[in-house]
């Protein structure tokens, strides 16, 4: 029998029996751990931290070995326990025990899940495909447009979707979207407003990155040499995955579960070919969603912080991660108008003596409580 009293949170999260209890709901393991916690109440905090780790990376554990699980959790826990060498104008070191592990759970989604996705779905060494290679290997007859003007040009596609193409950029697309997919190849920068058609998904190939949508608006920027691609979402959602060089008919099929990254409004994704790595974050200036109810206001009077963050989430479509129990006594009185999101967050967090970070396209709040 293992001496679990000596286990740290990452050790508990890596334990097969503990994971079976939390992730699979195994009855026998549930009985054991329930009794164990009753006998060792001083370990409840470590159990809670282990649960946060599992919430963030539980699905990833199904895809890697036991050794990799333990190694990765120990490595990340060690990093999280070290003070950060970097500072940010919006950051103050307010990492109390449990709040710090809330941050850990959010950041692990990006660190572990994306790291596993990259290693499992990509061959060794980056594949830096270019626009010319993509067009040359296309199976359909294509129409090409090059914006040689000094101003952006709006181009209508066969399905009435539009592209605002920046100067020096070019696109190639199917003469008619007659099949079961709509496919566009991009070099440079374009803003897409796609007509919704669930039966015929829309694909944008930009170097090594493929963006798939049903109907939404988003921007794609692809460097000429194929070394960098950036995707920003304005409305709706898109899934982004890497082009593995297969035939077009195979590439445009939906990627296997776990091999895609979902982007929501006000999020962006950058792919660097030389590092073979995706990085998800928020756009520089998040905008209020068009679907935001008109009656939604940012006027608060002794309003619980949960409602304040809820209003921001609804307005901008951005998830705000924080410890509700720790901050249940935090209230806000104040009024906001057209201030940018980050300015609102600066004022709110200063008022309640907290701070925030952007992590993997989310806002993560850390606080001592109120």
**In whole angstroms, what is the distance from residue 200 CA to residue 206 CA?**
19
Q: Which of 259, 275, 291 is the last residue of a domain?
A: 275
What CATH number does residue 303 fall under? 3.55.50.30
Q: Is residue 286 part of a domain?
A: no
What's the 3-state SS for the chain?
CCCHHHCCHHHHHHCHHHHHHHHHCCHHHHHHHHHHHHHCHHHHHHHHHHHHHHHHHHHHHCCCCHHHHHHHHHHHHHHHHCCCCCCCCCCCCCCCHHHHHHHHHHHHHHHHHHHHHHHHHCCCCCCCCCHHHHHHCCCCCEEEEECCCCCCEEEECCCCCEEEECCCCEEEEECCCCCCCEEEEEEEEEEEECCCCCCCCEEEEECCEEEEECCCEEEEEECCCCCEEEEEEEECCEEEEECCCCCHHHHCCCCCCCCCEEECCCEEEEEECCCCEEEEEECCCCCCCCCCCCCCCCEEEEEEHHHHHHHHHHHHCCCEECCCCCCCCCEEEEECCCCCHHHHHHHHHHHCCEEEEEECCEEEEEECCC
pLDDT for 262 beyond 80: yes
**In whole angstroms, what is the distance from residue 359 CA to residue 227 CA?**
24
**Residues 269, 306 within the same domain:** no
Q: Is residue 337 part of a domain?
A: yes
**In whole angstroms, what is the distance from residue 129 CA to residue 124 CA?**
15
pLDDT of residue 257: 41
pLDDT of residue 274: 77
**Residues 148, 116 within the same domain:** no
Pair of tokens at residue 276 = 């073979």
- The range of the structural domain enclosing residue 335 comes to 299-367
Q: Which residue has the higher pLDDT, 259 or 127?
A: 259
pLDDT of residue 68: 52
**Residues 147, 248 within the same domain:** yes
Q: What are the φ/ψ torsions at residue 197 (nearest 5 degrees)?
A: -155, 90
Residue 265 · residue 233 · CB < 8 Å = yes
**Residues 18, 110 within the same domain:** yes
**Residues 46, 148 within the same domain:** no
Look over the chain and give the mean of its residue pLDDT values, rounded to a whole number: 78
Q: Is residue 20 part of a domain?
A: yes
Q: Is residue 288 part of a domain?
A: no
pLDDT for 21 beyond 70: yes
pLDDT in tens, 149-163: 999 999 999 999 999
Residue 82 · residue 302 · CB < 8 Å = no
**Residues 140, 260 within the same domain:** yes
pLDDT of residue 95: 36
Pick the most confident of 96-100, 134-138, 271-275, 351-355: 351-355
Q: Which residue has the higher pLDDT, 146 or 46?
A: 146
Q: Which of 72, 95, 121 is the last residue of a domain?
A: 121
**Residues 197, 318 within the same domain:** no
**In whole angstroms, what is the distance from residue 75 CA to residue 84 CA?**
15
> Per the confidence metrics, is the pTM higher than 0.75?
no
């Amino acid at each position: 029998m293992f001496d679990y009293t000596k286990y740290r949170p990452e050790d508990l999260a890596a334990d097969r029996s503990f994971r079976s209890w939390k992730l699979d709901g195994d009855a026998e393991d549930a009985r054991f751990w329930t009794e164990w916690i009753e006998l060792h109440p001083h370990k409840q905090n470590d159990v809670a931290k282990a649960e946060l780790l599992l919430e963030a990376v539980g699905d990833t554990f199904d895809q890697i070995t036991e050794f990799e699980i333990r190694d990765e959790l120990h490595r990340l826990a060690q990093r999280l326990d070290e003070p950060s060498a970097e500072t940010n104008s919006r950051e103050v070191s307010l990492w109390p025990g449990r709040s710090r592990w809330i941050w850990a759970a959010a950041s692990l989604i990006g660190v572990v899940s994306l790291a596993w996705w990259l290693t499992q779905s990509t061959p060794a060494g980056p594949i830096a495909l270019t626009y010319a290679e993509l067009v040359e290997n296309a199976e359909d007859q294509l129409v090409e447009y090059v914006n040689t003007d000094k101003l952006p040009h709006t181009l209508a596609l066969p399905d009435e979707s539009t592209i605002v193409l920046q100067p020096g950029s070019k696109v190639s697309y199917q003469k008619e979207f007659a099949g079961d997919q709509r496919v566009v190849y991009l070099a440079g920068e374009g803003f897409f407003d796609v007509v919704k058609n669930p039966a015929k998904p829309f694909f944008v190939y930009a170097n090594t990155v493929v963006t798939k949508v049903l109907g939404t608006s988003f921007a794609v920027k692809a460097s000429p040499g194929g070394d960098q691609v950036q995707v920003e979402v304005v409305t709706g959602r898109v899934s982004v995955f890497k082009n593995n060089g297969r035939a077009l008919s195979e590439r445009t099929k939906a990627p296997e579960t776990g091999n895609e990254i979902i982007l929501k409004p006000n999020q962006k994704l950058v792919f660097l070919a030389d590092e073979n790595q995706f990085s998800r974050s928020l756009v520089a200036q998040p905008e209020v969603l068009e679907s935001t109810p008109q009656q939604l206001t940012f006027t608060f009077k002794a309003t619980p912080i949960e409602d304040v963050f809820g209003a921001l989430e609804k307005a901008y479509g951005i998830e705000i991660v924080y410890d509700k129990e720790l901050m249940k006594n935090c209230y806000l009185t104040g009024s906001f108008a057209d201030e940018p999101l980050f300015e609102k967050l600066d004022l709110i967090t200063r008022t309640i003596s907290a701070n925030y970070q952007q992590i993997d396209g989310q806002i993560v709040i850390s606080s001592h409580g109120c």
